[in-house]
Structure 1
Amino acid sequence: MVFNFNGVLVQTRPLAVKYYNEIARDKGYRPIAPDEAESLGGLSIRERCRLLGVPLHRMPLVGMAIKRRYQADLPALSAITGMPELLAELKSRGYKLGFVTSNGKEASRAFLRHNRMELFDYERYAAHPFSKSRDLMRFVKSSGMDRARLLYVGDERRDLAAGNRAGIVSVGAAWGYDSSGLLRQSNPAFVAERPEQLRAYLLDDRFEGGL
């Protein structure tokens, strides 16, 4: 199993909004209001850019700038409630676990130590947050895993679309960045609203021993 890091293992949306608003003030973009962040999860990236006045071609740079700013905050954050226990149970049942992230290695590992989640067999660190499909395919190649037996858990529509392009079955985690409705547009195998729903799906008898 491979997990997207931000949004699935840790909720970084409040930090992303905080640092986006700092950038917006500098660049003249519209800031995100305190009560607006969740509703943005139902919009595509193109729609968010249009609403906030951010040129679409600038969004990758804005995204990387936001991520750079919150690396110092990441180690002290708490994991999504229920995820450490789910990972431990999956590990005890023989699942191989991996993650893909554009966070820095030191910050990511510090977060895992802080939350007692040093359970992963495979790690993939990407330099660019908008290269999910390529990163997934590189993860498959470097890990030596059979993509037919791999499940990817992502919290954004583009995560699941990347899984489709890589030939990997994907599950949506609707507690992250994108809404369940937006996630379903990429035709995932399942969308979980809460980690306990993900647990029920993964540990159903159909999935014992892998996909």
Structure 2
Amino acid sequence: MAKYILFDFDGTLVDSRALLVKLYNEMALQYQFRLIREQDLGMLRSLSIAERVERLGVPAVQIPKLAMAGRLKYQENIRTLQIVPGMKEVVARLSAQRLTCSILSSNSASNIRAFLKHNKMDSVFKEVISAKHVFGKHHSIRKVMKAWGAGPTQVIYVGDELRDIEACKKLGVPIISVTWGYDAPTLLRKGKPDYMVDSPNELLRVILALT
């Protein structure tokens, strides 16, 4: 049975889509990439990260530099972000059940900790881990599992993107995909997650059934 719950951050725990679109558009104006318009959001959610990058005309070699600049701008806007409604209660319930909750995200650990502190959630997560590989999150998950001495069946990952599913499939780690995040349900289904949920309450029921 699972005893470690590993959460993604952006899109899963926190509603940061509007902020990330705003920050991207600021950089797009600077570097002359295509802007993201409101009417583009539905289409972009149905594309993989590689397809989005190609559609927006962002050179792959510039992604690391843009990600670093984006993290700095993100930090300046931490206090504007909101927890996904219902997720604070989910994490509190899991913690009360003595399950170990941690966060693994492509965002920076300092950004995540600042958000958790501002929202008085810093005590419910054991660790905050920043994944160094944007397109290879399985490396970071494997490293965390090794540090914990945990096997694949002892960990559940909760995420909102196709790349989360792909990472977990490589390791045999069960994944619960949430439909309120960055990737559209149609895209998530292509990855064949172990579970897909439409609400925090449904997420809680699935996790409790697996632990």
- Same structural fold, with TM-score higher than 0.5 when normalized by the shorter chain: yes
Structure 1 position 63, deviation (Å): 3.5
Q: Cα gap change, 1:180/1:138 in structure 2, threshold over 3 Å: closer, same or farther?
A: same
Partner of 1:145: 150
Structure scoring higher RCO (CA < 8 A, sep ≥ 6) equals 2
Letter in 2 for 1:199: L
CA offset digits 1:174-209 (Å, max 9, x no partner): 1111011111222111111221221222223xx2xx
Q: Secondary structure at the match of 2:104?
A: strand
Structure 1 position 128, deviation (Å): 4.6
Q: Is the 8 A contact 1:133 1:166 kept in 2?
A: yes
RMSD of the alignment, in Å?
1.9
Structure 1 position 57, deviation (Å): 4.3
Partner of 1:203: 208
Partner of 2:127: 122
Partner of 1:166: 171
Partner of 1:188: 193
**Percent identity (aligned):** 35
Which of 2, 6, 23 is 1:2 aligned to? Answer: 6
* C-alpha separation in 2, matches of 1:116 and 1:182: 33
Q: Check if 1:177 corresponds to 2:182.
A: yes
Q: Is the 8 A contact 1:2 1:99 kept in 2?
A: yes
Question: After superposition, where does 1:39-58 map in structure 2 within 5 Å?
Answer: 39-58=43-62
> How many residues are aligned here?
206
Unaligned ranges ≥5, structure 1: none
**Scaled by the length of structure 2, what TM-score is found?**
0.88
Structure 1 position 148, deviation (Å): 1.4
Q: Check if 1:101 corresponds to 2:105.
A: yes
Which of 108, 112, 116 is 2:116 aligned to? Answer: 112
Q: Is the 8 A contact 1:3 1:99 kept in 2?
A: yes
Q: Cα gap change, 1:107/1:150 in structure 2, threshold over 3 Å: closer, same or farther?
A: same
CA offset digits 1:91-119 (Å, max 9, x no partner): 11121111112333332222112222220
Q: Check if 1:77 corresponds to 2:81.
A: yes
* C-alpha separation in 2, matches of 1:123 and 1:48: 27
Q: Is the 8 A contact 1:64 1:128 kept in 2?
A: no
**Scaled by the length of structure 1, what TM-score is found?**
0.88
Unaligned ranges ≥5, structure 2: none
